[in-house]
Amino acid sequence: MRNLLFLALAAGPAFAQAPRSVAAPPADVLDGVVRLPAPETTATRSRASLAPLAFTRVADGAWRAETTLAVDADGPLALALLGEGADAWTIEVEGERGRWIPVEGAFTAPRRVQDLGDELPGLVVVRHDARVARRGRYGLRVESKRAAASGWLLARGSADFDLAAWVSTPVLVADEPIAILARVASTTAAPRVDSARVVLGTETGARVLALADDGEHADGARGDGLFGALLPRGLSGRLRARVEVGGVTAGGAPFDRSVQLAFPVLERRVVLDGRVEARAEDELRLELALGAFPLGPAAKLHVSAEVWGSDARGAPVPVCWLSRQLEPRVDGARWELALELDRRWIELADARAPFELRGARVQDPDTEVVYDRLATLELALPPLAARAGGPARSIVPAMLTGSASALTAPSNAGPHLPATLAPAFPALMLVHGYCSSGSIWPAADFTAPKLEFLDANQNRSHDQFAQLLLQRATQANLGSFGVVAHSQGGCAALHLLTYYPSPLDAATGPRRIQSVATPYQGTPLASLGSFACGVNNDMTPAGSATWLAGIPTWARNEVWFWTTANSGSACNFLTDFLLTNPEDGTVERFRGDLPGAHSMGHVPGWCHTTGMSNPANYTDHARNAAMNAAAAR
């Protein structure tokens, strides 16, 4: 027992070391797995409109807000009011000869009310669903007998077309040209756009930017249907953008569409200077020190680059991709950002000079915002002497993670400690997601040894979340652990496995990471600044795509995941307007997919959390039992 306790106490500090040197094979480079996504592929799409309601007091003492509603096709129509005390509001539609008709009668739309509870404390959503509504533009007025300041009207009509909006670049720094771009996509004839704007919210107020299709706002060619608005130069902070586009369909009906975006614009902290110095560290490892000029205080950075060489005919050949979370090394007035290259990658690729780095990028670890990037950098390697045993013939784990713990066994998966190192005090770690109010997993569904991670009511980046998982494991003196995670917890566990040595590496058993309803490709809800604990950039559609470009296939292969959705009735009356079916009230099925991982299937009849139309997906006792049985520990 005494020796076992010693091993357990030693296990925690052994993992509390520098972030690992991550590498990915040439296939991940050629397949684009570890390359930044094209901005247009990160778009948020919507077929709903979102209109603010500003109330003023009227003669009879009531409070009233007026707006218009565009119904773009004969058929189904969904309306919702959102606000404090919205269940006491009335909504009327302007009919013939100026008569005002209750919406229930105008559209034969029954009224349903839902308290949004922990997700949006104090807010209520009132929803009306009409089976058949006639197209046209209607005047609406919303009235409250009690004092009301503001609210929102949401409407969703035809599925024939939607609005896609995105930010033009992942280099979200104040001195970089940044544009918001939008396009209406239709399955039929393209509609005519009559109005297009961005309501830009900053930390100091709001302003309106016109969206133009003139070829002068990062919007491609004039008249090509792509609209753009350039952000004012020098603007920084956490920004919110409501993109609003309206016009007339090919059939002559009016339409409105809205997309909500949120993203940070940072002050540029570092600039790559175009130099790389390669130094031999030992028989296997080469340090590639990228030169950079500091523009702020030294802090952790995320640095990545592709290594390319030449084949026997002189044609370019990918060698590997390198990445690391690191502290810059100060060298006078310059910084050095040191990546580590295992020479066995060069041997496997049978590569020779000339070498170069491609796609070098420096990012902020907590937002994945790109501070700077360079397309190519010349790379001169020192002479490499012949090694004992000859060139490498297969990939070994140490090549993927820079670990000295396993140097010989070939692997197609992630980092594994040798089986001879029997872990002390293994456990299954149960992990919640973003802004969880507390314990979620039914205790009886999981057997010991186990522990539950708790970080209630918090908004963490994936990197912060991952380090908290490591801290929890260290505090518990775990020698190894597997993970069962809900929502963002799955992203955090995957990030930990990729970038940091931890007892997660030492887990033994079939499945190292299992997750339920994790937004690996983000969720539009992460852009709602007033939603739950606020905006989380790592989980917006654009932010998640940038983060995922740093996760190699070998790490993804350690994940087994499930997606869920409602059984017919919307999980959440509000988020149903903002998501694409099938979805679970928070995560759309397609955004819950993790390419390169193991999909365990899509299960209807479950919503994302409690208080929705179906039970919370983490209360599925049968699935929990299966995860418990298959979990690595």
Domains delineated in the chain: 2-19+415-630 (3.40.50), 48-152 (2.60.120), 160-168+174-265 (2.60.40.1930), 274-401 (2.60.40)
Order the strands of the 237-248 sheet from edge to edge.
205-210, 192-202, 237-248, 254-265
Q: How confident is the model at residue 96 (pLDDT cuts 50, 70, 90)?
A: confident
Scored b (16 or more CB within 10 A) or e, 388-417 reads eeeebeebbbbbbbbbeebeeeebeebbbb
User: Percent of the chain having pLDDT more than 70?
Assistant: 93
Q: Is the pLDDT of residue 192 over 80?
A: yes
Question: Residue 432 is encoded by which pair of tokens?
Answer: 């919640």
What is the radius of gyration, based on Cα positions, of the chain?
27
Q: Which of 7-21, 22-36, 377-391 is modeled with the greatest confidence?
A: 22-36
Q: How confident is the model at residue 16 (pLDDT cuts 50, 70, 90)?
A: very low
Q: How confident is the model at residue 14 (pLDDT cuts 50, 70, 90)?
A: very low
Give the pLDDT score at 422. 46
Look up tokens 């009906």; give the residue: 253
Inter-residue contact 62 to 145 (CB < 8 Å): yes
Inter-residue contact 229 to 217 (CB < 8 Å): yes
Give the pLDDT score at 415. 57
What is the Cα–Cα distance from 511 to 557, expressed in whole angstroms?
Answer: 10
HEC profile of 124-157: EEEEEEEEEECCEEEEEEEEECCCCCEEEEEEEC
Name the more confident of 11 and 332.
332
Q: How confident is the model at residue 13 (pLDDT cuts 50, 70, 90)?
A: very low
What is the Cα–Cα distance from 84 to 585, expressed in whole angstroms?
Answer: 21
525 phi and psi, to 5 degrees?
A: -65, -20
Give the pLDDT score at 531. 61
Give the pLDDT score at 370. 98
Give the pLDDT score at 390. 81
Name the more confident of 414 and 168.
168
Q: Is the pLDDT of residue 488 over 70?
A: yes
Instruction: Tell me the pLDDT tens digit for each residue of 247-256.
Output: 999 889 999 9
Give the pLDDT score at 118. 64
Residue 447: CB atoms within 10 Å: 12
Tell whether omega for the bond before 318 is within 30 degrees of 0, i.e. cis. no
Q: Is the pLDDT of residue 410 over 80?
A: no
Average pLDDT value over all residues in the chain: 91
Q: Which residues pair with 631 in a beta bridge?
A: 511
Helix (H, G, I), strand (E, B) or coil at 10: helix
Q: How confident is the model at residue 115 (pLDDT cuts 50, 70, 90)?
A: confident
What is the distance, to the nearest Å, from the Cα of residue 466 to the centroid of all Cα atoms in its chain? 15
What is the Cα–Cα distance from 464 to 547, expressed in whole angstroms?
Answer: 13
Instruction: Tell me the pLDDT tens digit for each residue of 54-83.
Output: 999 998 889 999 999 999 999 999 999 999
Give the pLDDT score at 391. 86
Closest to 172 measured CA to CA, from 552, 548, 542, 531: 542
Q: Which residues pair with 179 in a beta bridge?
A: 230
What is the Cα–Cα distance from 265 to 212, expressed in whole angstroms?
Answer: 22
Give the pLDDT score at 275. 96
Give the pLDDT score at 149. 75
What is the Cα–Cα distance from 358 to 249, expressed in whole angstroms?
Answer: 45
Give the pLDDT score at 412. 40
Give the pLDDT score at 532. 67
Q: What is the pTM of this model?
A: 0.93
Question: Residue 163 is encoded by which pair of tokens?
Answer: 């609005």
Residue 478: CB atoms within 10 Å: 28
CA distances, 218 to each of 40, 221, 600 (Å)? 12, 9, 41
Question: Residue 334 is encoded by which pair of tokens?
Answer: 């310059």
Instruction: Tell me the pLDDT tens digit for each residue of 499-548.
Output: 999 999 999 999 999 999 999 999 999 988 656 688 999 999 999 999 99
Inter-residue contact 370 to 363 (CB < 8 Å): yes
Q: Where are the beta strands (DSSP E) in 266-411?
A: 270-280, 285-294, 301-310, 316-326, 329-331, 334-342, 352-363, 370-379
Give the pLDDT score at 611. 86
Side-chain-side CA neighbours of 343 within 13 Å: the count stands at 20
